[in-house]
Every structure is written in C-alpha cells, then in structure tokens.
C-alpha cells in the first residue's frame, strides 16, 4: 500500500470539469487498488460526499501543502502546483507530473481574446511551468501517443533524454508514459425526469437530439455546427442541438459563447433547434442527459492545439454508446474513422457537416453498426484499464535515474517564476497596470472581490 497525494487546480465540488474529474478518478482507482489517496485542490474543495480525504490549500501556502506532502510517498500534480509550492517542486517523494493537457498550446487559443501583452504572458507562464514540470518529475503522464511525441521533443531539448535515463529504460516509458482520460465501467442509465426529454423546453420524446457534451471554448467551432443544424432542419424533423454546459466551473465565459447564442438567434434557431444550457451539469448527473441523446458532436478549428488535444467529451459519448460526428485533425478523429464509430468531417464545412448530421440521426443499419462499434471500443477506456501505468508506478515508487537533491539540477534551462505569493502578485499588478492601465487593474480587483 502506497500513500498518494494528488493536487489539482480545479474545484472539487458536485459540478466538476476535466482536470478535477481526472484527479478524482485517479484517487478513486488508487483507493480501489488498496492504496491511500488524498486529493487537494488549490481553488476549492467542497464536494458533499468524497470517498477519500479532500482538502483546499491556497497557492503559496507552503505550511498547508507540506502537511500533505510529508504524509505522502508519491506526489502527483496537475497544472501549476510546481510553481505555486516550493514544497512540491523540491519534494524528495516520487514526483509525478500529470501533463495530459498541453497547457501552453491550449493557452495559445484560450488567450486569443486577451490584450496582446496578457496573452503573451499567459502563454509564456504556461510554457515555463510545463518545462519546469518536465525537468523535475520522476514520471510524466500524457494522454496519447501524439502527446508523447510532443513531450519527448521537449524532454530532449531540456536535457532529460540523458545516458542515465536511457540506460534505465531505452523506451523511456519509465520517464514518460501514456495515461488517457478514462470513463466509468458501467454505461449510464436513463433517469426519467432528470435528463433532457420532457424537462428541457423544446426537447420531447420525438426530438432527434445532438448533444455537445462540455463547455464552449474558443478553440472549438460551434458556429459551423449551428449553421449546419440550420441546413439539416429541413431534412430532419425535430432536430435539436443541446449544449450541455456553457459555464465552466473554473473558467470565465468566453466570447464564443455569446457569438454562438447570437448566431443561433439570428438564424431563428435559438430555443428550438439550438438550445443552450446556461449552467454546468453536475458530474454525477451528466449520464442522464447523455443517454437520452441520439448522437454526440464535437467540432473544432484545425490548429496546433487540435493536433495534440485529447477531447474528453468524446469519452462521454463512448460511455453513453453514442455514434459521433466530429471534425478531422485530432487523435480521436483518427480513432473514430479507424473503428467506424461515426463520421469525421472537414473543418469549417457546413454542407458536409449537415449531411453527416442527417445520417447520424437516421434510423438505419449504418447507425446501428456505429453503436455496436462504440460499445466495443468503450472497454479500452475504462479507468481501471487506462490507469495501469500509474498503478504500476505507485506500487513501486521510484526516483528518476537523473534525480538530484532538491530537483533543481535536473535537466537544463532558466529558473521559472513562481505563480503564487507576494512577488507574483506584485509582478501581475505591474503587468496589468502597464497593459490595461489603472481602470483595468481596478476592474480586476472588483471582479476578484465579487467572486469571494
């Protein structure tokens, strides 16, 4: 039995998004395997019935995190914990970096709506924090073989692909392994009165429902999808596109949400063919919505974030047995095409997408075949399967072959700035003062105070 501390930057509550869901299921699977797990959030920990200890430790609270770090034999973290806590960055425990989300690439898209100096700062902060993780970790986890190639290149540039690490394991899986996002072993079941049909205005027993199973962010392309629904409604009576959540529990609403609403309104689709859920469905209730859908959809633009992304909403479609329509360009599109789980369409092509929506909503042998294939592929992605590399590592904690005392000497590169504490607050204040002026800083302070 091994004691494992897991740190996430996402809120631990009834409504959780991807990083917290992943951390939660890691803790749960470790516990089921006979290990002890604690889950710490740097933002909020208020889940009503956790099956393991959870806690909130604010960024920069070294005493608070040290209590948990000293208890643990393995420390696993997501996000910025290595730059928020010196205790984590310099731990003498086995250190595992969960880098399933290439946050520097994500920030290239997520920051598009910010002032250019702030966008550049967000990207450089994410890049530096990620490079620091790759320098210090005994084991790095990524979500796909595509991501593994990306990180092998970064590790080579950082000096971690050394004779010491190569001699230990020429395949380098001991340093960098693949742990995809997972799903529950049992598919969701219908829960009348707690899903969409007969509950959401405009969605009834006869509706043909496409579900968008997650948040609406700038790197996705809901606009082409909304236009395609407008075309397909002439062919598919009762077509409905339901956006499951437009408000991420830990991220400000992006401008694309308003653009999507405005487009649906201008086309006469909003509230009928296109329906927005303006909240975030609790994690343990999402199955009731998914199981009532006819198909899952995910559309995006093609850019570097797409290439290395791992769309966790696709796993929910697998879990619920839904055939899919997705845009080409990411790893899941390859799986959907290879395993015949639905239709892959070109990016930004309204007509091709409308044709695909028409096919996936039909009662046809083709759709039945897609559903059977989804049920088969689903078994590969249950948590107990995808977490095998983590379970193996935790069963026999080890240090990397090139580990140094305090971990500062691992790899090469400049010292990374901390993302917590007084110095960080001063740096950010000066940055926003230069980029946005006094009025911008004042608005940020007011927003932060109102969120408390």
Last residue of a domain, one of 325, 355, 381: 381
With a cut of 90, say whether residue 312 has pLDDT above it. no
User: Mean pLDDT throughout 348-357?
Assistant: 98
Instruction: Provide the domain limits for residue 402.
Output: 3-182+387-420
State how far the alpha carbon of 402 is from the alpha carbons of 113, 168, 397, in Å: 41, 10, 15
Closest by alpha carbon to 284, among 61, 66, 16? 16
Q: For residue 447, what pLDDT is reported?
A: 64
* pTM, two decimal places: 0.82
For 80-108, give the DSSP string: THHHH-HHHHT-SSEEEEE--S-HHHHHH
In this prediction, what percent of the chain has a pLDDT beyond 70? Answer: 90
**Same domain flag for 98 and 216:** no
Residue 201 falls inside a structural domain: no
Mean pLDDT taken over the chain: 90
Q: What's the pLDDT tens digit per position in 1-41?
A: 999 999 999 999 887 878 999 999 999 999 999 999 999 99
Phi first, then psi, for residue 309 (nearest 5°) are: -75, 160
Q: For residue 170, what pLDDT is reported?
A: 95
Cβ–Cβ under 8 Å, residues 210 and 295: yes
Q: For residue 264, what pLDDT is reported?
A: 96
Q: What's the pLDDT tens digit per position in 402-442?
A: 999 999 989 887 567 667 666 666 666 666 666 667 776 57
Give the Cβ contact number of residue 156 at 10 Å: 11
CATH number for 21: 3.40.50.2000
| pLDDT band, residue 249 (cuts 50/70/90) | very low
User: Mean pLDDT throughout 302-308?
Assistant: 78
Q: For residue 301, what pLDDT is reported?
A: 87
Distance CA 451, CA 397 (A): 40
**Same domain flag for 304 and 174:** no
In this prediction, what percent of the chain has a pLDDT beyond 90? Answer: 71
Give the Cβ contact number of residue 266 at 10 Å: 10
**Same domain flag for 174 and 221:** no
Q: For residue 282, what pLDDT is reported?
A: 79
**Same domain flag for 170 and 283:** no
Tokens of 38: 């604690």
Residue 337 falls inside a structural domain: yes
Q: For residue 429, what pLDDT is reported?
A: 66
Residue 189 falls inside a structural domain: no
**Same domain flag for 397 and 445:** no
With a cut of 50, say whether residue 244 has pLDDT above it. yes
Out of 76-85, 97-106, 122-131, 277-286, pick the least confident.
277-286
**Same domain flag for 212 and 310:** yes
Count the domains in the chain.
3
With a cut of 90, say whether residue 451 has pLDDT above it. no
**Same domain flag for 33 and 101:** yes
**Same domain flag for 164 and 40:** yes
Residue 414 falls inside a structural domain: yes
Residue 188 falls inside a structural domain: no
User: Mean pLDDT throughout 201-230?
Assistant: 93
With a cut of 50, say whether residue 248 has pLDDT above it. no
**Same domain flag for 414 and 445:** no
**Same domain flag for 371 and 230:** yes
Residue 199 falls inside a structural domain: no
Closest by alpha carbon to 309, among 210, 246, 221? 221
CA-atom Rg of the chain in angstroms: 22
Q: For residue 251, what pLDDT is reported?
A: 46
| pLDDT band, residue 443 (cuts 50/70/90) | low
With a cut of 90, say whether residue 155 has pLDDT above it. yes
Answer with the residue of higher pLDDT: 194 or 151.
Answer: 151
Last residue of a domain, one of 331, 355, 381: 381
Answer with the residue of higher pLDDT: 59 or 109.
Answer: 59
**Same domain flag for 105 and 233:** no
Residue 409 falls inside a structural domain: yes
**Same domain flag for 56 and 108:** yes
Q: What's the pLDDT tens digit per position in 313-338?
A: 889 999 999 999 999 988 889 999 99
For 154-220, give the DSSP string: HHHHTT-S-HHHHHH-TT-TTTEEE----B-SS-----TTSSSTTTSTT--TT-EEEEE-S---TTB
Residue 168 falls inside a structural domain: yes
């Amino acid at each position: 039995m091994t004691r494992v501390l897991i740190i996430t930057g996402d809120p631990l509550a009834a409504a959780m998004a991807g990083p917290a869901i992943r951390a939660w299921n890691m803790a749960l699977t470790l516990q089921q395997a006979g290990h002890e797990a604690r889950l710490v959030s740097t933002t909020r920990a208020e889940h009503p019935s956790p099956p393991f200890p959870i806690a909130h430790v604010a960024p920069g609270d070294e005493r608070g995190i040290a209590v948990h770090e000293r208890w643990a034999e393995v420390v696993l973290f997501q996000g910025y914990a290595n730059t928020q806590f010196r205790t984590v960055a310099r731990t003498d425990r086995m250190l595992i970096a969960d880098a399933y989300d290439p946050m520097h690439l994500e920030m290239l898209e997520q920051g598009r709506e910010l002032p250019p100096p702030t966008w550049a700062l967000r990207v450089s902060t994410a890049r530096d924090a990620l490079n620091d993780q790759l320098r210090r970790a005994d084991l790095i986890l990524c979500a796909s073989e595509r991501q593994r190639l990306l990180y092998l290149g970064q590790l080579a540039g950082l000096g971690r692909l050394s004779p010491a690490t190569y001699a230990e394991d020429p395949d380098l899986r001991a340093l960098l392994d693949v742990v995809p996002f997972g799903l529950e072993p049992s598919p969701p079941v219908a829960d009348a009165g707690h899903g969409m049909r007969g509950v959401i205005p405009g969605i009834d027993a006869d509706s043909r429902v496409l579900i968008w199973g997650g948040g609406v962010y700038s790197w996705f392309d809901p606009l082409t999808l909304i236009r395609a629904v407008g075309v397909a409604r002439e062919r598919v009576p009762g077509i409905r596109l339901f956006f499951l959540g437009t408000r991420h529990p830990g991220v400000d609403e992006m401008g694309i949400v308003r653009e999507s609403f405005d487009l649906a309104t201008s086309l006469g689709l909003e509230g009928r063919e296109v329906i927005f859920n303006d909240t975030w469905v609790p994690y343990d209730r999402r199955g009731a919505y998914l199981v009532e859908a006819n198909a899952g959809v995910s559309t995006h633009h093609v850019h570097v974030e797409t290439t290395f992304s791992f769309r966790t909403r696709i796993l929910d479609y697998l879990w619920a047995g839904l055939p899919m329509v997705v845009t080409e360009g990411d790893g899941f599109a390859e799986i959907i095409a290879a395993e015949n789980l639905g239709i892959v369409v070109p990016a930004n092509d309204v007509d091709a997408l409308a044709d695909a929506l028409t096919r996936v909503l039909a009662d046809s042998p083709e759709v039945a075949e897609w559903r059977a294939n989804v049920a088969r592929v689903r078994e590969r992605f249950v948590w107990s399967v995808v977490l095998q590399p983590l379970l193996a590592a935790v069963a026999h904690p080890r240090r990397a072959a090139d580990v140094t005392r305090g971990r500062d000497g691992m790899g090469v590169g400049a010292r990374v700035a901390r993302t917590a504490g007084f110095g960080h607050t001063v740096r950010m204040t000066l940055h926003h003062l230069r980029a946005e002026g006094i009025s911008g800083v004042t608005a940020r302070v007011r927003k932060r105070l109102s969120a408390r």
